Structure 1
Amino acid sequence: MSSTAKVDWEKVRAVIFDVDGTLYTQSRLRSKMLFDLLGYYALRPWRLQEMRILQRFRAEREKRPGQAIPDLENAQYTWCADGGGYPLEKVKRVVDYWMFNHPNKYLISCVYPGAHSFFTTLRQRGITIGIYSDYPAQEKLAAMDLAADIVVSSTDPHINHLKPAPQGLLYLTAQLGLSPSECLFIGDRPELDGVCAERAGMPCLIVDKQPYDQFTFYKQLENQLVATLTTPAHG
């Protein structure tokens, strides 16, 4: 489903969101992180290898779409360590800090306009909110002041599949007791989120590529939802 398609809100019991690039703008965050990274390593040139670790970690994951492997959580660090000849513990320390910890303080200023209001309206209408991300999302959600009813990551031990494998979405629907057709997945990458939803048999929207100060995607969805469901549809 395209970003402009009209949603049949009468049939939607749950909305499942990707996180990175879907709930917040990555370009804003990357600008802030680049400033911090350059400032930090300009004073510590002997540690520049750590920036290459971050690049390799992302690259190793990106070249494995749909990867299914036991203990994916630890395997992703091993891919980086083995491919670059880095100590495994160093890879974990650098990645966890620069990717999963340090950026969180900036997320609230990067949340897409309308996201908070859309979440509020979904709750008011009795529609369940789910999260499915390739990366751990609990701390990111807290940093963005957003709350979901269920949160799943590709690296969770009961998933162990990267997108576009549909296991994460199918697990969510099973936990919610819903069919995929009763859910809506919102993501930002057609080749990952879109294909993932297609393989799960779930309707999908792809976030509009709009400048941050002109971003109306969530406001438009909220208006559509309110206009369709003038009274709460689900208890």
Structure 2
Amino acid sequence: MKNIKAVIFDFDGTLYDHKGAVRKLLKELKFSHKLLAGAERRVRSRLKGIYTGDRQSFDERFFYEFSRIVKKNPEELQDWYDSVYLEAMITSLKKNFKARANVNRLFTFLKEQEIKTAVYSDYSKTKERMEALNINTSTVTGIFNAEDLGGLKPAVQLLYKITEELKVKPEETLFIGDRSDTDGKGALAAGMNYIQVLTHKTKKNEETLTWVEICQLIQAHFLKNE
């Protein structure tokens, strides 16, 4: 944790408790859309860790693979994803979830300590989904999603793009996430420091801290290094 100049936070499962998120999201969708949602998740699992270089190339690859499964036009699927699926995510977050305790206070604290911050999600419309949880996006240095960066977690190229945007080195960055197979794998491969938050999906052999412990650790560390 020495010489940390930036903290990257995963979104889903890290900044809020996402228990039951998929089930609650599906409640917002019509039956035919539920089937598309299931197929979308299968495509995402197949392409986990890909890096295509940019958003256009990612969309071409992702929706081509999606179309092969559901036998629909890629352009039609992309429109459904943007206008139906992601909007349902936002609606579900507003209805069913809230940010973890002191998220806004933590971002404000890091900003006051001149530590750069980023929120990083696999899915698009990260800013809108943060706002659905009443997270103050103005206190965050950068908001990113893997799709805009050209791939999916845990591709290290995506993290390098974020640190380049933040103007810090990977080794000067702390990544806080909830999944060792995506957040942890990518962060460690990129040379970052990594802390995993305890969730209902944490495996018994994984080293984690509770969200409260993470907040306390960060505050103690950066106050000590003033």
TM-score, normalised to structure 1's length?
0.78
1:53–1:116: structure 2 CA closer, same or farther, 3 Å change rule? same
1:88-103 matched pairs, under 5 angstroms: 88-103=74-89
Partner of 1:138: 127
CA distance in 1, matches of 2:198, 2:111: 23
- Name the residue aligned to 2:159: 169
Structure 1 unaligned runs (5+)? 1-7, 42-47
Q: C-alpha separation between the residues in 2 aligned to 1:163 and 1:36?
A: 26
The residue number in structure 2 matching 1:65 is 48
Q: Across the two proteins, how many residue pairs are aligned to each other?
A: 210
1:56 deviates by 0.5
Moved more, 48-57 or 190-199: 48-57
| Structure 1 residue aligned with 2:177 | 187
Contact 2:8 2:118 in 1 (8 A): yes
Q: Aligned with 1:132: secondary structure?
A: strand
Which structure is higher in RCO with an 8 Å CA cutoff and minimum separation 6?
1
Shift of 1:161: 2.5
Q: Which position in structure 1 is the counterpart of 2:35? A: 52
Are 2:210 and 1:217 equivalent residues in the alignment? yes
1:66 maps to a residue whose letter is: G
> In the alignment, is the contact (CA less than 8 A) between 1:132 and 1:169 conserved in 2?
no
Name structure 2 gaps, 5 residues minimum.
202-208
SS of 1:208 mapped into structure 2: coil
Q: TM-score, normalising length from structure 2?
A: 0.81
Deviation at 1:150, TM superposition (A): 1.3
**Greater Rg, structure 1 or structure 2?**
1
Task: Give the aligned partner of residue 195 of structure 2.
Answer: 205
Cα distance in 2, alignment partners of residues 69 and 228 from structure 1? 37
> Which of residues 19, 27, 40 is equivalent to 1:27?
19
Q: How much has 1:67 moved relative to structure 2?
A: 1.3
Which amino acid in structure 1 is aligned with residue 215 of structure 2? E
Secondary structure of 1:126 counterpart: coil
Do 1:57 and 1:76's aligned partners in 2 also have CA atoms closer than 8 Å?
Answer: no
CA distances 1:105-127 after superposition (whole Å, capped 9, x unpaired)? 34353322232222222122221
